[in-house]
Amino acid sequence: MEGLNPLSEEKRKKSIRTIELIVILILIILLAAIAVPNFLEAQIRAKKSKNYSPMRTLATVLESYYNDHGAYPPMRSLKDMTEKPDELEKAGGASLQTFSPVLTTPTAYIQRFENDPFSPYPLPFVYYTDGEGWMILSRGPDGDYDINPAKIYNSSDSYQSFSVLASPATYDPSNGTTSNGDIWRIKQ
Ligand SMILES: [Ca+2]
């Protein structure tokens, strides 16, 4: 019986190794395709839950201030709070407002303002008051502002929360990582 040609044996081994490598690569790609979106969604869920607690705290703080002063605290421009006004402008936040320092001094209704976890650079939540009510707003996972409270918020319209909720400007968790829209809380 003729022995195996060492060259063709070498070739056979090489092609088996190549096939093994391709199979491993395909497995890695498949695993990444499953793991990466799950990881991104988990990140968004974590950031979103980070919104709830500070927004709840701020709601309580606003009502405490109202009880003491008979008015909600004044606003200040979000632009005053950032060294990146160009990026704020690009994100659609140039005309938005946030909390004024009257909430920290002279009476400390709150020690410090939590930053919006969806802002790529440190910036507090948006705050808007029309005098009778208020809205607190986070950019949401897309990192820009889709809601301008000064344009849509009206505390005397009790149905507005439903119309805002139904609009694409509100973050929809069922859309996961691709969801546009903002996360907000209004005076109940
Ligand atoms: Ca948004």
Q: pLDDT band at 168, cuts 50/70/90?
A: confident
Q: How far is the CA of 119 from the centre of ligand 1 (A)?
A: 10
Whether 45 maps to a domain, the answer reads: no
Q: Which residues pair with 63 in a beta bridge?
A: none
Q: How long, in residues, is the chain?
A: 188
Whether 41 maps to a domain, the answer reads: no
Q: How many domains does the chain have?
A: 1
Longest dimension (CA), the chain: 104
Whether 24 maps to a domain, the answer reads: no
Q: How far is the CA of 32 from the centre of ligand 1 (A)?
A: 27
Q: How far is the CA of 139 from the centre of ligand 1 (A)?
A: 4
Q: What is the pLDDT of residues 69-118, one digit of tens each?
A: 999 999 999 999 999 999 999 999 999 999 999 999 999 999 999 899 99
Neighbours of ion ligand 1 (CB under 5 A): 139-140, 142, 146, 182
pTM of the model: 0.77
Q: What is the pLDDT of residues 14-45, one digit of tens each?
A: 999 999 999 999 999 999 999 988 888 888 88
Q: How far is the CA of 146 from the centre of ligand 1 (A)?
A: 5
Q: What is the pLDDT of residues 177-186, one digit of tens each?
A: 677 889 999 9
Whether 4 maps to a domain, the answer reads: no
Whether 137 maps to a domain, the answer reads: yes
What is the sign, positive or negative, of the torsion defined by CA atoms of 66, 88, 150, 169?
A: negative
Q: How far is the CA of 140 from the centre of ligand 1 (A)?
A: 4
Whether 10 maps to a domain, the answer reads: no
Whether 42 maps to a domain, the answer reads: no
CB-based burial label for 150 (10 Å; 0-12, 13-18, 19+):
middle
Q: How far is the CA of 175 from the centre of ligand 1 (A)?
A: 13
Q: Which two tokens stand for residue 7?
A: 């060259």
Whether 144 maps to a domain, the answer reads: yes
pLDDT of residue 122: 94
**What residues make up the domain containing 86?**
51-186
Q: How far is the CA of 30 from the centre of ligand 1 (A)?
A: 30
